[in-house]
Amino acid sequence: MTTTPEHTGPGAAVPLGMPGTLGAFDDHRPPSGELVGDCVHCGFCLPTCPTYNLWGEEMDSPRGRIYLMKSGLEGEPMTDAMVQHFDACLGCMACVTACPSGVQYDRLIEATRAQVERRHDRPPGDRALRTAIFALFPHKRRLRLMRGPLRAYQATGLQRALRRSGLLARMAPRLAVMADLAPRMTRRDRLPERVPAVGPRRAVVGLLTGCVQGEFFPGVNAATVRVLAAEGCDVIMPRAQGCCGALSVHNGREAEAQRYARRTIDTFEAAGVDAVVVNAAGCGSSMKEYADLLAEDPEYAERAARLSAKVRDVSEFLAEVGPVARRHPLDVTVAYHDACHLAHAQGVRAQPRALLRDIPGLQLREIPEGELCCGSAGIWNILFPEPARQLGDRKAGNVAATGAALLVTANPGCLMQIGSAFQRRGDRIGMAHTVEVIDASIRGLSPGALVGPERRHGLSRAR
């Protein structure tokens, strides 16, 4: 594909989005021609796009992908090349933040991905990999079964041996990527279904415990519960909750995402909570968009909108209610990494920084090229391991340049991706979720609890 958006020019009069005139897309929720038409091809989004940064290809930029959507709507068939450019998009939404014309690329790519999943015949290897990923990651019981073998793999030295020999990387490169990304398995304590507020109750909140977050980063959920309780919240973690559907919706698996969304709505409605608190950026952003996902479902459309209105990232919620628990000093230098689905998709940037700055003794540093994705992007780093590695290494280099002792972010995927890049560098840095830092301050722990050797590679001690 060598054509560029300039060949059609801005504002070209085409009957975009008309049923029956669609080429690449069918008429079940195609990318909106109206939204496509909002792009004026100015190119302001290009410098923030990770794939454009990597390859310098117009069709791997937001503007190029919007152009491909436009040609698809005008009658171009869905070709392998077209799908490749859509697939390569990380869905980081840096372009949404950068765009001065307010182009809703997030809605465009989501609609496009659903069309690709339904209408495009992927090569068998790609299909099998995606099937395997989705048979595992949204299922916490299956992830739990992996904890034992992973712990043995890490503890026996097999991981180090295979990494040093490069054997696994040669025989099963994608498996090697997943094994490298996995954080060190630590004890996972079962959380109760309800934890009462410490002191007078200010709110009743539900907590999404998540799939990867719950099984691979149990310390983040434990810290979230302690902080919310300390701030005067009854915390409810309904046993019936499952996957929120984020991975599915971000990868075009619309029907599956809708099933997960309906179950999540049923569960938190039944819990009768004032707010649903989420500590994984990707999950929070998709739950805030349930209304769009279920817009055509007469039974759920309104309920989805009501639930979405209650969803808060944990930093957003804590900033809203304000602190009552005392913060003890924590003498540590922190580099805060904006998870894309928190900063670009939810617009939550100020709250986590403000919460961290409120901790006495903590020094906050900004990461150069902060808007650029770390290359995690859900399952993107498994589907595209080499470019993901390049983005991860670039991010780790920028984090290291801050000289901070602790990297803090709000998404399990970022913790794994940047952690594994630090491991490649042979550098040491502590890694923690924002809420773990607040928890350490409230409990009066020493900085060693966050930056000690057991916290490297995104380690999160179960407590």
The CA distance from 345 to 371, in Å, is 12
Q: What size, in residues, is the chain?
A: 463
Distance in Å, CB of 90 to ligand SF4, minimum: 4
Distance in Å, CB of 24 to ligand SF4, minimum: 17
Does 114 contact ligand SF4 by CB under 6 A? no
Give the residue from 340, 159, 128, 142 showing the smallest Cα distance to 250.
Answer: 340
Does 65 contact ligand SF4 by CB under 6 A? yes
For residue 407, give the 3-state DSSP assignment. strand
Angle at 446 between CA 440 and CA 448, to 5 degrees: 105
Stretch that binds ligand SF4, among 77-85, 98-106, 173-181, 386-394 (CB under 6 A): 98-106
On the 0-12 / 13-18 / 19+ scale of CB atoms within 10 A, 280 is buried
Q: Phi and psi dihedrals of 256, rounded to 5?
A: -65, -45
Q: How many Cα atoms sit within 13 Å of 320 on the Cβ side?
A: 16
Question: Considering beta carbons, is residue 107 or 202 the nearer one to ligand SF4?
Answer: 107
Residue 363 one-letter amino acid? Q
Does 57 contact ligand SF4 by CB under 6 A? no
Does 90 contact ligand SF4 by CB under 6 A? yes
Does 94 contact ligand SF4 by CB under 6 A? yes
The CA distance from 17 to 35, in Å, is 10
Stretch that binds ligand SF4, among 61-69, 207-215, 425-433, 454-462 (CB under 6 A): 61-69
To the nearest 10°, report the CA torsion of 371, 377, 382, 388. -10
Question: Considering beta carbons, is residue 31 or 430 the nearer one to ligand SF4?
Answer: 31
Q: Which of 99, 185, 205, 362 binds ligand SF4 (CB under 6 A)?
A: 99
Structure tokens at 98: 């950068």
Residue with tokens 């929720």: 29
Q: Which of 17, 30, 91, 210 binds ligand SF4 (CB under 6 A)?
A: 91
Stretch that binds ligand SF4, among 15-23, 83-91, 155-163, 225-233 (CB under 6 A): 83-91
Number of residues that bind ligand SF4 (CB under 6 A): 26
Residue 370 one-letter amino acid? G
Does 43 contact ligand SF4 by CB under 6 A? yes
The CA distance from 12 to 301, in Å, is 34
Stretch that binds ligand SF4, among 14-22, 37-45, 345-353, 454-462 (CB under 6 A): 37-45
Does 207 contact ligand SF4 by CB under 6 A? no
Distance in Å, CB of 49 to ligand SF4, minimum: 3
Q: Using the 8-state DSSP alphabet, how is residue 372 labeled?
A: S
Does 53 contact ligand SF4 by CB under 6 A? no
For residue 273, give the 3-state DSSP assignment. coil
Does 33 contact ligand SF4 by CB under 6 A? no
Does 50 contact ligand SF4 by CB under 6 A? yes
Angle at 104 between CA 433 and CA 112, to 5 degrees: 95
Q: Which of 95, 168, 404, 435 binds ligand SF4 (CB under 6 A)?
A: 95
Q: Which of 8, 32, 44, 333 binds ligand SF4 (CB under 6 A)?
A: 44
The CA distance from 230 to 197, in Å, is 6
Does 93 contact ligand SF4 by CB under 6 A? yes
For residue 271, give the 3-state DSSP assignment. helix
Binding stretches for ligand SF4 (CB under 6 A) = 39-45, 48-51, 62-63, 65, 89-95, 98-99, 101, 103, 105
